[in-house]
Amino acid sequence: MLSVINVCTDSIDDLDVACEEILSQLKDKTLLKNSVGIIGCHSDYVEENVIAAIKESLPFDVVGCSALGTATNGHGGLEQLTLTVLTSDDVEFSTAFSDTISKDDFDAPIEKVYAEAEKSLGTSPKLIFVFAPITEDVAGDRMLTKLTQLGGKVPIFGTLSNDTSSGYTKSYVFKNGEFDRFKMALIMMSGNINPRFHITSIAKRNIQQNNAIVTGADGYLVTSINDMSVLDYFATLGILATETSGIAPTTMIPLLVDFGDGTEPVAYSMYNISADGAYCGGAIPQGSKITFAEIDMVSILETAEITLRSALDDAEKNGANGIIAIPCFARAMVMTPSVEAEITKSLKVIGDQIPFSLIYSGGEICPVYNKQHEPVNRFHNLTYTLVVF
């Protein structure tokens, strides 16, 4: 059995008080044989070494990342630090923190951190949590692909770091007292754990009826659609004029991608469009079916509720001890100035029915299911993802 303990603080203006509040809330909680902590928080808590101070008083590792905002039952906000403790007598945990990951030094740091976590666990994991860096040089999907190559069919759940600064210069991943912009943290779990994954990205009414085929692709760059250049195809939809050159701001025009392998479609953002094609949030193989969609405040709140109610139904039917949600931070930005609306909706839906925590994501990592209901690891954009266990 896995028990879940959530504590939080929003005392960002007095970081000593913030640390005291976290530790005082944990004081009377019962820890079982094995424990690990997951923290999401504003970058100020990281830079002022609040994570390190919390860890000094705890008998277990804490890992996590900076985030636009976090929440737990009854409490949430952009300046909240949330600590989720997973504790169990029959689930074992291991953690590891990588060396610097870059475009030129990519494989070795990820292989090393995976090997360290697996060696510490002493067996093959049944679930992996990953907190990965958000960088211009290394795609989140690429990091997930590498982890999946190492782990085979092991489900991987997690996020890229994020923050409120321009260029994500204060986006950190951390383990205990160490933090870095370009490193990865892993939690591996084995034993009596049964994770189930739920996602929703786009409200059905916002999905356009313009199914198309990717006829040319090079990794994350889609070069042709329906045997037309990307610019020419977009012009038929009224999205861009064919004479457009250079980069176009299209992050909030999501693509739904059907990989043709029986898995649920995945939402990707288009980070930029030029005469070369559309650079997307994940690799899209040639032959994939794509559909354009729209995202707005109403649909964001609707899909959050759909995902949470699906998770609550799952918990009622199959039993559960906790839910960890990781929605895309861009969903919150779409709702500006009502940036906390999705947090408010999530807390209203979840109530106090089950221990719940939320960390906003710079890129969501969550399995989807194939026709045999086997989890297949996927990277996502603009999606509300969660795990029930």
225 in the same domain as 305:
no
196 in the same domain as 94:
yes
| pLDDT of the residue at 158 | 98
pTM of the entire predicted model:
0.95
What type of residue sits at position 384?
Y
77 in the same domain as 58:
yes
135 in the same domain as 87:
yes
- Whole-Å CA distances, 289 to 236, 253, 267, 284, 292: 17, 16, 12, 9, 10
Residue 383 near residue 364 (C-beta atoms within 8 A): yes
Handedness of CA 25, 27, 28, 30 (dihedral sign): positive
Which phi and psi angles does 50 have, rounded to 5°? -65, -35
Give the largest CA-CA distance in the chain: 65
Per-residue pLDDT of the chain (389 residues; tens, 9 = 90+): 899 999 999 999 898 999 999 999 999 899 999 999 999 999 999 999 999 999 999 999 999 999 999 999 999 999 999 999 999 999 999 999 999 999 999 999 999 999 999 999 999 999 999 999 999 889 999 999 999 999 999 999 999 999 988 888 999 999 998 999 999 999 999 999 999 999 999 988 888 877 899 999 999 999 999 999 998 998 888 775 444 444 444 556 789 999 999 999 999 998 888 889 989 999 999 999 999 888 899 999 999 999 999 999 999 999 999 999 999 999 998 898 999 999 999 999 999 989 999 999 989 999 999 999 999 999 999 999 999 99
Residue 67 near residue 61 (C-beta atoms within 8 A): no
| pLDDT of the residue at 246 | 43
- Domain end point (choices 268, 292, 316): 292
125 in the same domain as 8:
yes
- Domain end point (choices 292, 326, 344): 292
Residue 332 near residue 99 (C-beta atoms within 8 A): no
In whole angstroms, give the CA distance from residue 110 to residue 97. 10
158 in the same domain as 38:
yes
Handedness of CA 149, 150, 155, 158 (dihedral sign): negative
147 in the same domain as 28:
yes
319 in the same domain as 223:
no
Q: Concatenate the DSSP letters of all residues of 36-100 into one string.
A: EEEEEE-HHHHHTTHHHHHHHT-SS-EEEEE-S-EEETTEEETT-EEEEEEEESSEEEEEEE---
Nearest to 2 by CA among 45, 29, 36: 36
The domain total for the chain is: 2
213 in the same domain as 194:
no
305 in the same domain as 192:
yes
- Domain end point (choices 260, 292, 324): 292
Quote the tokens at residue 381.
Answer: 């954009």
Task: Decide the pairing of beta strands 266-268 and 228-229.
Answer: unpaired
Which residues constitute the domain of residue 117? 2-200+299-388
219 in the same domain as 183:
no
194 in the same domain as 236:
no
